[in-house]
Amino acid sequence: MRKLLLLLMAMMVFALPVKAESVYSIQHKDHIRQDYEIHIDFPNFDGLVNKKLEEEVNKGIKEEIDATMKQVKRAGENSTGFPVLYYGESSVIEEKEMISVILTSNITRGDYYESSVSSINFENEKDGIFLKLEDVAHIDKLNQEVQKKFSSDPETFNIQSFQGVRKDTAYYIKDEKLTLVFNKHEVAAGVFGTPEISIPYHLVKKEKPQHKKSVPVPKTV
């Protein structure tokens, strides 16, 4: 009986799910001066299948952050009033082979507060590539669905000022939904921050590019 009990316990241990090793780690950067402060959390990928793509992803994240840091430093150095505060946040969404990095920049100076969002989307495959919004969704269909969403909630969204989804609008795909993340003030009042809307992916889905060649990380505006 004792042997049977030990055998059952051993089987239960081996049956426990093994947590997959993360393909990235979170890095932190601080830079504090009298005229500006910078505090950033960002992912550094070290476990992607395609090492060349991994290098380009990390480079793209760094370039995105560095560009904002330069703007903050310049604004702080030219400011004679309140210091400029830059808080950079990030999140990583994994959906099967697709990975999305959402980078949010929060910049404050006195009573001024602004947030903007960008995304870097790619496939974690041997022949994986970067995927822009227009690579995964039909933009015309996407605009139609976005307008429907906005029209159904006029108290939140400003449908009159909506000119269409930007091709570099931040996005991610999760649980069969395509989620767009807008900049502050872009489609709603500032009180709503960086609003997100989710659309059933099958309504706008576009077949991914057939070419399997890594391309440079898409530039955001």
pLDDT at 3: 55
User: Which pLDDT score is estimated for 182?
Assistant: 96
Average pLDDT per 10 consecutive residues for the chain, totaling 221 residues:
52 52 94 93 96 97 93 84 92 96 94 92 94 96 96 91 92 97 94 95 86 52 43
CATH T-level fold of 22-203: Heat Shock Protein 90 (3.30.565)
Q: What is the DSSP annotation of 154-211?
A: TTTB-GGG-----TT-EEEEETTEEEEEPPTTTSB-GGG-S-EEEEEGGGTB-PPPS-
Q: What angle do CA 53, 207, 200 make, to 5 degrees?
A: 105
What is the predicted pLDDT for the residue at 214?
Answer: 47
pTM, two decimals, is: 0.84
Domain ranges in the chain are: 22-203
Q: What is the pLDDT of residue 208?
A: 73
Tokens representing residue 144 in the block? 């139609």
